Amino acid sequence: MSALFEPYTLRSLVIPNRVWMAPMCQYSAEPVGPNAGVATDWHFAHLAARAVGGTGLVLAEATAVSPEGRISPADLGIWNDTQVAALRRITDFIKGQGSVPGIQLAHAGRKASTAAPWMGGGPVGADAHGWTPVAPSPLPFDDGHPVPHELTVDEIQGVVSGFREAARRALDAGFQVVEVHGAHGYLIGQFLSPHSNRRDDEYGGSFENRIRFALQVVDAVREVWPEELPVLFRISATDWLTENDEDEREGWTVDETVRLARELQAHGVDLLDVSSGGNAPRARIETGPGYQVPFAERVKAETSLPVAAVGLITDPQQAEKIITEGRADAVLLGRELLRSPSWAQHAARELGGEVHKPDQYLSAV
């Protein structure tokens, strides 16, 4: 039996295999009006195809807990019941294919109010349905980006409440896994890193203060998420900043990721989804096949928190080796699943594993 296709249990939830779909924004929702942030036929087709293809856990894209938490005006949201109804149609289908539906809850912070990547990805103003972003400190993400509004303590608590209500709606929408997005330079990651957090109150300065918001969000999600279902947390293990960078501000480090992993586990997180980067636009990132796996491996070696690895994992043998060598408990595929929605089925054939196959497609087996 292939290790990649062994079931994996988190709390009482059994995920049928270790091939998981990473959240990937589609920028395909209506930006304004009664259907703002509502999942469309595109989202259904995108997520359903990966479930049909045998992916064990299908994680929906970064879904905003409030309108101003969207990365772009065309992002998915989960701040109202209309959005819930559209998502329930998707989760019902994913479960019907034997896969597990998950959702990533997110707030973009200072990286909000931008255009879709194929439209340049830069900041957009009110004329393109944009808004003023918020952040822990009034530091723009990059040249040409607006200075964000610095959140007050009361406003921070409002965002925490937004995550709580979003988790409640995610459960109502039929999701079985919820992931808190603390990576890629979005709001939670902005609080974590001294590169973007210059506060001098209880949310800034020391490591304990910078992780406070993340832990409060996790606590809020856990308040409403069933005890028997898992909570994941996505982290950027490093900002990839060094002392030789032009920007001399210190960044978030792998050492801090290991420390945070222990705290997250104590607050009810069941698995750490380990990515990197996104908070410093000119950081030099050394990419290559499996380039982020060592970060997941270190967390797994130095804590008891399960981990998933992500980042240029494209080959079945490569993925199998990550699991069999104990470097991670699962792998998340992003672009490779865009290229090949049935990657899990192809990998199962190559590795001798078993994976769900829809009756309608049995003639192709």
48-58 average pLDDT score: 98
27 Rama sector, left if φ>0, alpha if ψ -120 to 50, beta otherwise: left
| pLDDT(339) > 90 | yes
Largest CA distance in the chain: 63
Each domain of the chain, given as residue ranges in start order, spans: 3-364
CA-only gyration radius of the chain, Å: 19
CB 327 within 8 A of CB 298: no
| pLDDT(242) > 80 | no
307 sits in which H/E element: strand 307-310
Active site residue 27: no
Token pair 């005890």 is at which residue?
227
The answer to whether domain 3-364 has CATH 3.20.20.70 is yes
* Coil vs helix vs strand at 129: coil
Q: Which DSSP string do the residues of 43-56 spell out, in sequence order?
A: HHHHHHHHHHTT-S
Q: Flag the least confident range among 104-118, 138-152, 230-244, 284-298.
A: 230-244
pLDDT digits (tens, 9 = 90+) for 110-159: 999 999 999 999 999 999 999 999 999 999 999 999 999 999 999 999 99
CB 239 within 8 A of CB 277: yes
3-27 average pLDDT score: 98
Token pair 């062994």 is at which residue?
6
pLDDT at residue 361 in the model: 87
Residue 258, Cβ neighbours under 10 Å: how many?
18
pTM given for the model: 0.96
pLDDT at residue 364 in the model: 80
pLDDT at residue 187 in the model: 98
Determine which one of 8, 27, 186, 203 is catalytic. Answer: 186
Q: Which DSSP string do the residues of 279-306 spell out, in sequence order?
A: SSTT------TTTTHHHHHHHHHHSS--
DSSP 8-state code for residue 146: P
